[in-house]
Amino acid sequence: MVRLPYFTALTTLFSYGLLFAFGQMRDLFRKILDLPKSKKVQGYAPICLGLEDFYTRRLYLRAQDCFGRPIASAPDSWIDVVDRYSNDNNKTLHRTSNITKCLNLGSYNYLGFAAADEYCTPRVIESLKQYSPGTCSVRVDGGTTKLHTELEELAARFVGKPAAILFGMGYVTNSAIIPALIGKGGLIISDSLNHNSIVNGARGSGATVRVFQHNTPSHLEEVLREQIAEGQPRTHRPWKKIIVILEGIYSMEGELCKLPEIMAVCKKYKAYTYLDEAHSIGAIGKTGRGVCELLGVDPADVDIMMGTFTKSFGSCGGYIAASKEIIQYLKHTCPAHLYGTSMSPPAVQQVISAIKVILGEDGSNRGAQKLAQIRDNSNFFRSELHKMGFEVLGDEDSPVMPIMLYNPAKIPAFSRECLKQNVAVVTVAFPATPLLLARARICISASHSREDLMKGLEVLSKVGDLVGIKYFPVESENSHAEAKLKKLE
């Protein structure tokens, strides 16, 4: 659902056109100026074909200082950002030794485990001394420690499935598992806004990939019916298997998937479901068990549940939780398990301790407190931003809230102004989002106190006025517009 003021759509398209025109002119002059230079590498093919790097060179590099800022501390609610300067208009950036302490509104630190924690950190240091930072081996050789087996059982229990398998990287979990689960002759139906790891895994599997409109169970049903009726591409034989891939919280929209309806559609047409809970595990649901708990879906219905430890647990790595047979099969076939180094033991211990805190098994109720805190923080922040007139996406209870910027010039303006006022935000533009819909993505953490949130709101409001992104009129008219909107939906 795209909602934007008409005038903003026109100006955004015009701005992109202008940037494109300038980029083309600069390329033209570069070609002319480079004509007399001799080509020392005769006979070699060019690294970049044609215009492949045009976007990077002419649009991304202009605002490069807003992306990839180095940090100098743990990503807690306040974070140290290293200052950088550039002598050639952002083509190259140089680090200084100055550090700015900023309010951290960009890290995926949903439950506050990213910085030192009173229960987790001593245990992690203990395991670092005992098991050392790396296992120096793959899981099947010598890389499975006691911690790994303990975490697999704990993760499976936490999510509500019989068994689980771990991987060292969240991205790799998706891109290496999907090819192990499905191959040529199978069909993958994935949500149109799925993460790049899923897209890569689907492409690498060799199966046919179809896309359904984001979060629209009726369109999914349409696609399923059409594909089941047609069968495989040329032979029209029935598909070997059909997997529908969706995410718990979509990180660019902050909205939850319509899990019950989509599960009903998949059950009806006997398609397998693969749920990627990277952002939702540990952050939503009454006891933090993710989107299944929040929306009341039985975890036994979802065939494969994937998640990462990077977001809510303050560690790194990913897991797949499914039935015992599937996990056994994956342990024998998935190349990331057979040939990739196992997770670092202190990282495993961090996840174990974090899950124990969330479940309350550490003997305190800090887990429940953190979950309540993040829910309250997210709802408070979102409602305040709405009241100020920003266009904020995302559902209730979701800790991810993108603020729409639209115009390409507002991306670096917003980012730089916020940094000047000591707030670190993450801005996302094309091609990670659609062209017109550039946004600044705010991630709220349980470690943000009320004062932090108030400061954040104050800075965002000031910067929003400066940059001009308060697209929707304030309170009184906003409720009128929302009522009209509800009628249209």
| 54 near other proteins, judged by CB under 8 A | yes
Residue 92 or 192: the one with the smaller Cβ distance to other proteins is: 192
* 124, 143, 360, 382 from 147: Cα distances, Å: 11, 10, 19, 39
Q: Is 115:80 a contact under the CB 8 Å cutoff? A: no
Phi, psi (rounded to 5 degrees) for 332: -95, -20
Among 36, 43, 46, 50, which residue sits at the site for other proteins (rule: CB under 8 A)?
Answer: 50
Candidates 32, 33, 41, 49: give the one binding other proteins (CB under 8 A).
49
- By beta-carbon proximity to other proteins, the closer residue of 43 and 431 is 431
Among 204, 206, 360, 473, binds other proteins (CB under 8 A): 473
Q: Which of 38, 44 has the CB closer to other proteins?
A: 44
Size of the site for other proteins (CB under 8 A): 36
Length of the chain: 489
**Where does this chain touch other proteins (CB under 8 A) — which range of 142-150, 317-325, 339-347, 427-435?**
427-435
Q: Does residue 380 bind other proteins (CB under 8 A)? A: no
Interacting span for other proteins (CB under 8 A) from 233-241, 393-401, 445-453, 481-489: 481-489
Buried b (16+ CB within 10 A) or exposed e, 371-404: bebbbebbebbbebbbebbbbbbbbebbbbbbbb
Q: In this structure, what token pair is assigned to residue 148?
A: 């790994």
**Between residues 268 and 480, which has the closer beta carbon with respect to other proteins?**
480
Choose between 296 and 431: whose C-beta lies nearer to other proteins.
Answer: 431
CA angle at 334 for the pair 331 and 338, rounded to the nearest 5°: 70
Is 475 near other proteins (CB under 8 A)?
Answer: no
Find the binding residues for other proteins in span 218-257 (CB under 8 A). none
In the region spanning residues 327 to 346, those forming contacts with other proteins, defined by CB under 8 A, are none
Site string for other proteins, 435-454 (x = CB under 8 A): xx------------------
Question: Which region, judged by CB under 8 A, interacts with other proteins, from 31-39, 73-81, 155-163, 207-215?
Answer: 207-215
- Whether 349 and 124 have beta carbons less than 8 Å apart is answered as yes
Paired strand residues for 99: 82
Task: Report the residue number, 21 or 116, with the smaller CB distance to other proteins.
Answer: 21
Q: Which position has the token pair 């003997």?
A: 363
* CA dist 184 → 173, 178, 233, 395, 456 (Å): 20, 12, 11, 37, 50
| Residue 132 interacting with other proteins (CB under 8 A) | no
- Report how far apart, in Å, the C-alpha atoms of 128 and of each of 176, 357, 468 are: 28, 20, 49
> Is 397:375 a contact under the CB 8 Å cutoff?
yes
* Selected range binding other proteins among 90-98, 238-246, 317-325, 426-434, rule: CB under 8 A: 426-434
To the nearest whole angstrom, how small is the minimum distance from the Cβ of residue 191 to other proteins?
9
By the 10 Å C-beta count (0-12 exposed, 13-18 middle, 19+ buried), 456 is classed as buried
- For other proteins, give the closer residue by CB, 367 or 464: 464
Query: Please, are residues 233 and 209 in contact by the beta-carbon 8 Å criterion?
Result: no
C-beta atoms surrounding 262 within 10 Å: 23
Give yes or no for residue 409 binding other proteins (CB under 8 A): no
Distance, in Å, from the CA atom of 463 to the CA atom of 82, rounded to the nearest integer, reads 21
- Which of 43, 46, 363, 431: binder of other proteins (CB under 8 A)? 431
Region binding other proteins by CB under 8 A among candidate stretches 86-94, 349-357, 379-387, 434-442: 434-442
Residue of 76, 86, 278 lying closest to 172 (CA atoms): 278
Tokens representing residue 135 in the block = 């296992």
Q: Using the minimum distance from each CB to other proteins, give the nearer residue, 327 or 437.
A: 437
Choices 13-21, 303-311, 314-322, 345-353; region in contact with other proteins by CB under 8 A: 13-21
25 binds other proteins (CB under 8 A): no
Q: Which of 86, 92, 132, 192 binds other proteins (CB under 8 A)?
A: 192
Residue in 116, 140, 372, 485 binding other proteins, rule: CB under 8 A: 485
Radius of gyration of the CA atoms of the chain, in A = 24
Q: Is 204 in the site for other proteins (CB under 8 A)?
A: no
DSSP string, 170-201: HHHHHHHHHHHH--TT-EEEEETT--HHHHHH
How far apart (Å, rounded) are the C-alpha atoms in residues 190 and 182?
Answer: 13
Q: Are 215 and 236 in contact (CB under 8 A)?
A: no
Smallest distance, Å, CB 311 to other proteins? 23
Contact with other proteins (CB under 8 A): which of 167, 212, 319, 414?
Answer: 212
Does 183 participate in binding other proteins (rule CB under 8 A)? Answer: no
Q: Does 483 bind other proteins (CB under 8 A)?
A: no
Binding site for other proteins (CB under 8 A): 1-7, 9-10, 13-14, 16-17, 48-56, 192, 211-214, 430-431, 434-436, 473, 481, 485, 488
